[in-house]
Amino acid sequence: MLTHKSNTFFLLAVLFLLSVLSFYIEIKWYYFVLVFLFWLLIAVAGSGLIRMNYHLKARSRSFTSERKVAITFDDGPTLITPEVLDILKKNNIKATFFCIGQEIEKYPEIFDRIIAEGHLVGNHSFTHSKKIGLFSKEKMMEEIASTDISIAKFLGKKPNYYRPPFGVTNPNIAKALKLSKHYVIGWNVRSLDTKIKSEKKILKRIKSRISPGSIILLHDTSLKSVRVLEQLLVFLQENNYEAVTVEQLLKIPAYEN
Ligand SMILES: [Zn+2]
């Protein structure tokens, strides 16, 4: 597996080798730049694509042949969340919600309803700042700890799951999560429901990527996603998929004892 450490080790080793070689033969300066750019390309991809497990180990699916998938919702609670909960209730399905700390503080009743209806919750940072990738280790630890506290007020215990906003990881985030002892939960089916306008296209994207053990990423932030969910549930039923929680899929406890 290519990690940040092994990539950087490879960069330094090749640069060293080129430096030594340059005493004996002519090495063009841009060879050094090319090697560095190659390292940078991998580092950028690894920081943005959670499935690469570049900075940390994220659980992005289950390797099972059972036709089970986990539906997950990010960025709530919002005023849309009750609509999602209504549909899940109607279909008797339990999902996993990765919630933002400051939104839990804003909509405590809605958050309470998520838990009361038997869904699971995980930590999705406190502010969901667009600049989260630039935060120090200490600031990241604060983001994680304050959301744990917000959640614990309702649950009486700490959540074990953390999902990185935007799927962004880096050495500071990895160190903070190692200290906070969270399991990092990713996805292998990204619906892009906040970016793609057409419900049809979103559904097509999900359907073409889904397989046994998939973790599907949706957002409880728009009515468009609610309609996508409704149609997704029909598709799952027609194709004999069972929707379960992340805990049931990965067999990792969602909460601390
Ligand atoms: Zn998010």
Shared domain for 126 and 182, answered yes or no, is yes
Shared domain for 29 and 108, answered yes or no, is no
Residues classed as catalytic: 74, 219
CA of 100 to the centre of ligand 1 (A): 8
Shared domain for 33 and 68, answered yes or no, is no
How would DSSP label each residue in 12-79? HHHHHHHHHHTTTS---HHHHHHHHHHHHHHHHHHHH-GGG-SSS-EE-B---SSSEEEEEEEEE--T
CA of 13 to the centre of ligand 1 (A): 37
Shared domain for 139 and 212, answered yes or no, is yes
How many whole angstroms separate alpha carbon 10 and alpha carbon 78? 45
CA of 76 to the centre of ligand 1 (A): 9
- pLDDT category at 253 given cuts 50, 70, 90 is very high
pLDDT digits (tens, 9 = 90+) for 3-36: 999 999 999 999 999 999 999 999 999 999 999 9
In-domain check, residue 255:
no
| Residue 30 CB burial class (10 angstroms; 0-12, 13-18, ≥19) | exposed
In-domain check, residue 53:
no
Shared domain for 107 and 180, answered yes or no, is yes
Shared domain for 136 and 32, answered yes or no, is no
| Residue 238 CB burial class (10 angstroms; 0-12, 13-18, ≥19) | exposed
In-domain check, residue 82:
yes
Which residues fall within 8 angstroms of residue 71, CB to CB, at 6 or more apart? 93, 95, 96, 216, 218, 229, 232, 243
pLDDT digits (tens, 9 = 90+) for 29-83: 999 999 999 999 999 999 988 889 999 999 999 999 999 999 999 999 999 999 9
CA of 74 to the centre of ligand 1 (A): 5
Q: How many domains does the chain have?
A: 2
pLDDT digits (tens, 9 = 90+) for 202-234: 999 999 999 999 999 999 999 999 999 999 999
pLDDT(169) > 80 = yes
How many whole angstroms separate alpha carbon 175 and alpha carbon 172? 5
Note the pLDDT of residue 51. Answer: 86
Shared domain for 41 and 70, answered yes or no, is no
* Mean pLDDT for the chain overall: 96
Cis check: omega of the bond before 77, within 30 degrees of 0: yes
Shared domain for 14 and 98, answered yes or no, is no
CA of 125 to the centre of ligand 1 (A): 9
Shared domain for 95 and 202, answered yes or no, is yes
- pLDDT category at 198 given cuts 50, 70, 90 is very high
Look up the domain containing 130 and give its range.
Answer: 58-250
- pLDDT category at 257 given cuts 50, 70, 90 is confident
CA of 23 to the centre of ligand 1 (A): 51
pLDDT(163) > 90 = yes
pLDDT(167) > 90 = yes
pLDDT digits (tens, 9 = 90+) for 97-126: 999 999 999 999 999 999 999 999 999 999
In-domain check, residue 64:
yes
How many whole angstroms separate alpha carbon 49 and alpha carbon 170? 11
Shared domain for 145 and 232, answered yes or no, is yes
Residue carrying structure tokens 């560095």: 36
pLDDT(200) > 90 = yes
User: Would you mind telling me the total number of residues written for the chain in this entry?
Assistant: 257
Q: What is the mean pLDDT of residues 165-171?
A: 94
Which residues fall within 8 angstroms of residue 237, CB to CB, at 6 or more apart? none
Q: Is 57 left (phi over 0), alpha (psi -120 to 50) or beta?
A: beta
